Structure 1
Amino acid sequence: MMPNLPVAVQPYTVRDQLNKDYRGTLRKIADIGYKAIELGPPPEGITVAEQKLLLDQLGLKVIGCHTSLEQLESDPDSVVDYLEKVDAEKYVALSLGFESKEDLLGKAGKLNEIGTRLSRRGVQLLYHNHDWEFRKFDGEYILDILLRETDPCHVKMELDTYWVHRGGLNPAEYLLKLRDRCPLLHIKDAEAGEEAFFAEIGEGVLDFHSIFQAAEEIGTKWLVVEQDLCRRDPLESLAISYGNLTK
């Protein structure tokens, strides 16, 4: 299953462990073999300089971070400043909910404004989907409308394979629609059955051979392992996913 693309990790998977032991958990992530991470500013008591020193010691490169619309509207420069301080690849991702088509169109306009502003400082705005973007307004998928109404230069995707699957679509097929517009890809697997609970990469039903092939074809730069919920210790889940990816 080994993809040709580099693999990073989204530490939301180990959020509880990070809250208890920030440094130790990052060390365990590095020990698994991950070399890159999607990571925001450190918790209280740790400076960004200290965080950067720790990441350098562990050989973990920051590829970007997640934030909120509120943060990007009120103080986008602080997000960019952080990415510059940790010498990150400059990607900023966010997720949104949509109450109506009017709400969707209004938020698409905001994303265009923010994306344009971020691009002036060399940062790429990404939209991260869940499954609710595969509901429809006027017979059209919310995500399709969002993609059409946003500038492909300033608003790109961090598609999530699990949530596309939960939305009832084929992740590889949807990826192929996103040529040059999905630099980061969140890879998650799903168990068989109606619940479609989260699974470690390679332990579920998603066809990652076709997903990786599509990702390479459309110009994806990074695969990012994330698992929202785990049936075992989350660090063990991250290790299983990494092991399966590197077999």
Structure 2
Amino acid sequence: MKFPIALQPYTIREELKQDFLGSFTKVAEIGYQAVEAGPPPAGVTIDEMKAHFDELGLQVMGCHAGLDQLTDENERKALVDFLELFGARYVALSYRFESREAVLEAAKRFNAVGGALRERGIQFLYHNHDWEFNEFDGESALDILLQATDPELVKLELDVYWAQKGGVDPAAYIRKLKGRCPVLHVKDMEPGDERFFAEVGEGVLDFAAILAAAEDIGTEWLVVEQDACRRSPFESIAISYNNLSRMGVAAQ
């Protein structure tokens, strides 16, 4: 059971503001093979980013984007051009639903975006938080969404921390997603009522079960993300990467 390990750079967002390219050097030095990152900020060109990543041997495996960005034809084209340049395959999106009707309406838009992305060889992913496990008429918003979307056009980037916080067993939920969850967001949860974010392997989540389930359903990537850290974010992402390596699941 081996997975390539990527980092979601939201974890080091403040560090990126200070030194965009240098921060990715540190990410590569830790051992990460890829990041889930979009185009660079003002002051850094796409060509400069590409040259730096090539030098580091660091991939871009995908990025996150907003629905308006993905719906606008020109903005979507610019983003996909960036992803193609870096050899990336995924675009993930998060959303919020207040009713069953809102889920069904979003599902139509997600199918349309997923179809447009698929024409360019990019897979659309939905990234959950905990609120997708709220129920409407006895069904969770996420279950409704998965049923209402085309499984080829809309796949899932399941975030295991948010699934646990939403009240489900992440490993059991993953097993429902065969062929539909190519990317897993991994972070851990501290014990106690606060349920604060923790480095992978340092909290209460059962990663042995989670990773076994991910292997069984065909998950391709693990993406480390930690929304907030009690220590230096670079220290946190190193702990997560090293713990995954010790678990024997980090592809070299």
Q: Could you tell me how far apart the structure 1 residues matched to 2:98 and 2:195 are? A: 25
Partner of 1:148: 147
Partner of 1:194: 193
Partner of 1:6: 4
Asked if 1:85 corresponds to 2:59, the answer is: no
Q: Could you tell me how far apart the structure 1 residues matched to 2:168 and 2:102 are? A: 24
Asked if 1:76 corresponds to 2:76, the answer is: yes
Q: Could you tell me how far apart the structure 2 residues matched to 1:129 and 1:239 are? A: 24
Q: Could you tell me how far apart the structure 1 residues matched to 2:97 and 2:78 are? A: 26
Compute the displacement of 1:99 (Å).
2.1
Q: Tell me the amino acid that sits aligned with residue 59 of structure 1.
A: G
Can you list the C-alpha shifts for 1:75-129, whole angstroms capped at 9, x where unaligned? 32122111012222x1000000112221111111000011011111111000000
Partner of 1:44: 42
Partner of 1:218: 217
Partner of 1:183: 182
Partner of 2:250: none
Can you list the C-alpha shifts for 1:107-154, whole angstroms capped at 9, x where unaligned? 110000110111111110000000000101111100000000000000
Q: Which stretches of structure 1, 4 residues or longer, exceed 2 Å deviation after superposition? A: none
Note the aligned Cα RMSD (angstroms).
Answer: 0.8
Q: Could you tell me how far apart the structure 2 residues matched to 1:95 and 1:41 are? A: 18
Compute the displacement of 1:73 (Å).
0.6
Asked if 1:239 corresponds to 2:226, the answer is: no
TM-score of the aligned structures, taking structure 1 as reference length: 0.97
TM-score of the aligned structures, taking structure 2 as reference length: 0.95
User: 45, 59, 62: which is aligned to 1:61?
Assistant: 59
Count of residue correspondences: 244
Compute the displacement of 1:245 (Å).
1.0
Whether the aligned pair in 2 keeps the contact of 1:48 and 1:85 (CA below 8 Å) is no
Q: Which runs of 5+ in 2 are unaligned?
A: 247-252
Whether the aligned pair in 2 keeps the contact of 1:118 and 1:125 (CA below 8 Å) is yes
Q: Could you tell me how far apart the structure 2 residues matched to 1:228 and 1:239 are? A: 15
Can you list the C-alpha shifts for 1:165-210, whole angstroms capped at 9, x where unaligned? 0001110000000000000000110011111100001100101111
Moved more, 141-150 or 30-39: 30-39
